Chain A
Amino acid sequence: MNLFLETLVGGLLAGVMYSLVAIGFVLIYKASGVFNFAQGSMVLFAALTFVTLREADYGFVSALLITLVVMVAGAIAIERFVLRSLVNQSDLTLFMATLGLSFVIEGLAQLLMGASVHELNLGIDDLPISLGSIQVSQFDLVAAATAGALVISLSLFFNFTRIGISLRAIADDPLAAQSIGIRLPVLWRIVWGVAGLVALVAGLLWGARQGVQFSLTLVVLKALPVLIIGGFTSIAGAIVGGLLIGASESLAEIYISDLLGGSVSTWFAYVVALGFLLVRPSGLFGEPAIERV
């Protein structure tokens, strides 16, 4: 029973980490309909910038602020030079453009900041806390709390601020939104900037967990099934999807792996996502596509 609870809790917390990355995708998809494959490289870039600044003896807060500025500046540049030229192209084209972008960002990150592996110390001791008879990681709890705070603030942002509501208008119908005076480029820059912030948070937490190195970009792969389950346009969906994927993957790894003879978590998340889709073809929280002839 202990094993089950521990695996479950561990899985849920891992899932929250996946959600962190997924939220970045959701933001951009919500506002501009682009599946931003460069999100992974943005996470790496943010984490590397932060670590490089820290190793050059900048304080925690100043490093954080500088990285934030860098990410926002990068977001503005991306919007100005890439997105604006690709307005109205198909989803696939935009997706491929972000893939090309990810190469550029990765190359730039290594060019400017080197290829070595860095340790990222956030000052949180990663020792286990005992909750009853099970052990939970302190670090994972902090990560979960952070993700929760992020979700709440983003939800408040989208629902109660002018900018947030404008973004929802754009997501609904860009043409109509423009016709009532909402300026698309400005809002896109804001969204990419916020996505950059989310990438920074994800980069810090993931970097603290496993070190800052190139493979940080691979966290994106687990974000895909999370998004598929949660729907591409819902932040709450990203959280729920993340929890589902994290928990089911960990439990499957422990209990099903022995039956099938290997590490099933390689593909389990994707099969779960597929299963969900067969039941609900546009994800748990996504908007169903209406087809007209």
Chain B
Amino acid sequence: MSDVLSRLGKHLAVAAAAFTTISFGGPASAADAAKQYFPLATFRVGAYASSGIPVWAGEIDYFRYINEVEGGINGVKLFWDECETEWEVEKGVECYERVKAGKNGSPVPIFLPHGDPISKALTEKTVADKIPQITIAYGRTESIDGRVFPYSFPVVFSFWSEASSAVNYIAEKVGGKDKLKGVKIATLYHDSPYGKETQVPLALLAKTYGFEDIQIPVPHPGNDQSAQWAKIRQLKPDYVFLRGWGVMTPVAIKTAAKTGFPVDHIIGGIWSGSEEDVRPAGAVGKGYLAVTPFPAGADFEIHKRIKENILNKGLSDLKDPKSFGSVYYNSGLIEAIISVEAIRTAQKKFGVRPITGAEAQWGLEHLKLDEARLKELGADGLVQPLELSIKDHEGGGAGKILQWDGDKWKIVSNGWVKSDRELLLPLIYERAAAYAKEKGIKPRSETEVVN
């Protein structure tokens, strides 16, 4: 009996010691006290790794640029570490819990969950811990309403805006919104909460403009879509809006070509609009369109600066230089720019030092990036003009339309295609209010002053 206990006790002691030493890490370094910690939850393995790796490169390259070239954010340099999530909720939550206390005296200003499921699991935790999470181009659309979701920020482009921008682009193509009546738009969506998120806004837009909204689901993972495209062939829509993820996108493009549907009438959403999505489809992908808030391209001013100072000096995180300027690389870049600017905005109010989550929240809600500032940043044309507020955590809501030319993406829209936010916002606020009621949350007042 005693040997059982002693053995068990020994094992527990070893395990506890291991965990404790690892939890508390090494001694704090005084030199890091004036640096801002920015943990990165990344995924470099697993099914979605190829979509993730360029993103981290974009983020890390921009952070390095800020540190090396600008000397930090008003002198406060950034330091970061990575935590692998494999795009899985449990790992994402564990990463968040691991890093949220900060490191070496610096608190965590912002958390980037990089995963729709992870962000949903963290919605309440981030409120309790007062750390804002930025969910660029994904996440709950209702979190646009910061009164109900104080710490969730779907900056730049929600799925509802994505649907609306796509419709507006189609309107441009057919000659104006009044000509949308009678147009058939089939949405081929990934049969999951992510894919279904655009059903409501499309129904509303269809009612408003008179186009026919057809919804066709594709079960996960979507590697056989012959049935769906046979149906599309029968229904003969004018455009197909592709809300795919992972392997669903290249299979859709290939199957469309197989069944004779013109590939240049397929508009992919944000997560169907990267190089990694189209390349496996091969030659038939030429002409495929996508709507995205992350324009592709390496000739923006900021890219020139990064190329000169980071890439050419071998400091880039990119292993494959071909990805420089790709959609995902730019998405990381855009995310990093927004995070840095939010911290900068917070520093103006709270002082030039490492910023806490609550302060970063203020910074985000008062973030304003107009054309002039974007030009200074070198992100003119890359990042859209943004203005966030407590009632509007999205701030932008516009996208650009890209077209695949067989080798890379070209921007084919005239600047930013705006979504119909005025039309959609009332419905979004309604849904946020319903969520608040369900969870017993008291919405913040618009004029509430946060510390």
Q: Is A230 an interface residue (CB 8 A)?
A: no
Docked-complex contact B219 and A115, CB < 8 angstroms: no
Chain A, residues 132-146, CB within 8 Å of chain B (1/0): the string is: 000101010000000
Q: Is A89 an interface residue (CB 8 A)?
A: no
Q: Is B174 an interface residue (CB 8 A)?
A: no
With the chains together, A30 CA to B65 CA distance in Å?
59
Pick from B47, B220, B257, B282: contact of A119, CB under 8 Å: B282
Docked-complex contact B226 and A7, CB < 8 angstroms: yes
Known: A115-B50, A116-B320, A209-B251. A250 touches B227 (CB 8 A): yes
Q: Is A42 an interface residue (CB 8 A)?
A: no
Known: A211-B247, A254-B227. A117 touches B254 (CB 8 A): no
Docked-complex contact A214 and B47, CB < 8 angstroms: yes
With the chains together, A263 CA to B221 CA distance in Å?
12
Docked-complex contact B45 and A115, CB < 8 angstroms: yes
With the chains together, A262 CA to B219 CA distance in Å?
9
Q: Is B281 an interface residue (CB 8 A)?
A: yes
Q: Is B258 an interface residue (CB 8 A)?
A: yes
By DSSP majority rule, is chain B's interface helix, strand, loop, or mixed?
helix
**Closest-CB distance, A203 to chain B (whole angstroms):** 13
Docked-complex contact B47 and A266, CB < 8 angstroms: no
Q: Is B40 an interface residue (CB 8 A)?
A: no
Docked-complex contact B258 and A137, CB < 8 angstroms: yes
Q: Is A199 an interface residue (CB 8 A)?
A: no
Residue of A nearest to B275 (CB): A117
Docked-complex contact A115 and B53, CB < 8 angstroms: yes
Pick from B219, B226, B227, B254: contact of A266, CB under 8 Å: B219
| Across-interface contacts of A196 in B (CB, < 8 A) | none
Q: Is B234 an interface residue (CB 8 A)?
A: yes
Docked-complex contact A215 and B227, CB < 8 angstroms: no
| Across-interface contacts of A127 in B (CB, < 8 A) | 257-258
**Closest-CB distance, A40 to chain B (whole angstroms):** 12
Residue of B nearest to A268 (CB): B219
**Closest-CB distance, B381 to chain A (whole angstroms):** 27
Q: Is A110 an interface residue (CB 8 A)?
A: yes
| Across-interface contacts of A253 in B (CB, < 8 A) | 227-228
Chain B residues touching A, range: 35 or more
Docked-complex contact A254 and B44, CB < 8 angstroms: no
| Across-interface contacts of B220 in A (CB, < 8 A) | 266
Q: Is B210 an interface residue (CB 8 A)?
A: no
With the chains together, A215 CA to B104 CA distance in Å?
39
Docked-complex contact A211 and B231, CB < 8 angstroms: no
Instruction: Report A258-286 residues with CB < 8 Å from chain B CB.
Output: 262-263, 265-266
Docked-complex contact B49 and A119, CB < 8 angstroms: no
Q: Is A193 an interface residue (CB 8 A)?
A: no
Known: A110-B49, A115-B45, A263-B191. A250 touches B217 (CB 8 A): no
Docked-complex contact A115 and B49, CB < 8 angstroms: yes
Residue of A nearest to B47 (CB): A214
Q: Is B250 an interface residue (CB 8 A)?
A: yes
Q: Is A210 an interface residue (CB 8 A)?
A: yes
Q: Is B177 an interface residue (CB 8 A)?
A: no
Q: Is B246 an interface residue (CB 8 A)?
A: yes
Instruction: Report B192-239 residues with CB < 8 Å from chain A CB.
Output: 217-221, 223-224, 226-228, 230-231, 233-234
Residue of B nearest to A120 (CB): B280
With the chains together, A143 CA to B404 CA distance in Å?
28
Docked-complex contact B280 and A211, CB < 8 angstroms: yes
Docked-complex contact A214 and B46, CB < 8 angstroms: yes
**Closest-CB distance, B280 to chain A (whole angstroms):** 2
Chain A, residues 163-195, CB within 8 Å of chain B (1/0): the string is: 000000000000000000000000000000000
Instruction: Report A2-17 residues with CB < 8 Å from chain B CB.
Output: 3, 6-7, 10-11, 13-14, 17
| Interface core residue of B48, B220, B223, B234 (most chain A CB under 10 Å) | B223
Q: Is A152 an interface residue (CB 8 A)?
A: no
With the chains together, A119 CA to B283 CA distance in Å?
10
Residue of A nearest to B48 (CB): A214
| Across-interface contacts of B223 in A (CB, < 8 A) | 206, 209-210, 215, 218-219
With the chains together, A106 CA to B217 CA distance in Å?
29
| Across-interface contacts of A118 in B (CB, < 8 A) | 279-280
Residue of A nearest to B229 (CB): A10
Q: Is B136 an interface residue (CB 8 A)?
A: no
Docked-complex contact B250 and A210, CB < 8 angstroms: yes
With the chains together, A211 CA to B250 CA distance in Å?
7
Docked-complex contact A215 and B47, CB < 8 angstroms: yes
With the chains together, A116 CA to B260 CA distance in Å?
28
Q: Is A128 an interface residue (CB 8 A)?
A: yes
Q: Is B284 an interface residue (CB 8 A)?
A: yes
Docked-complex contact B260 and A135, CB < 8 angstroms: yes
**Closest-CB distance, B154 to chain A (whole angstroms):** 26
**Closest-CB distance, A139 to chain B (whole angstroms):** 7
Where the two chains meet, the residues of A that have a C-beta atom closer than 8 Å to any C-beta of B are 3, 6-7, 10-11, 13-14, 17, 107, 110, 115-121, 126-128, 135, 137, 139, 206, 209-215, 218-219, 249-251, 253-254, 257, 262-263, 265-266
Q: Can you spell out 27 A-B residue pairs with CB atoms less than 8 angstroms apart? A: A6-B233, A11-B226, A11-B227, A107-B45, A115-B49, A115-B50, A116-B53, A117-B50, A119-B279, A119-B280, A119-B282, A126-B258, A135-B259, A137-B226, A209-B254, A210-B250, A210-B254, A211-B250, A213-B50, A214-B48, A215-B47, A218-B221, A253-B227, A253-B228, A262-B217, A263-B191, A263-B218
3 A-B pairs closest in CB distance: A211-B280, A115-B49, A10-B226
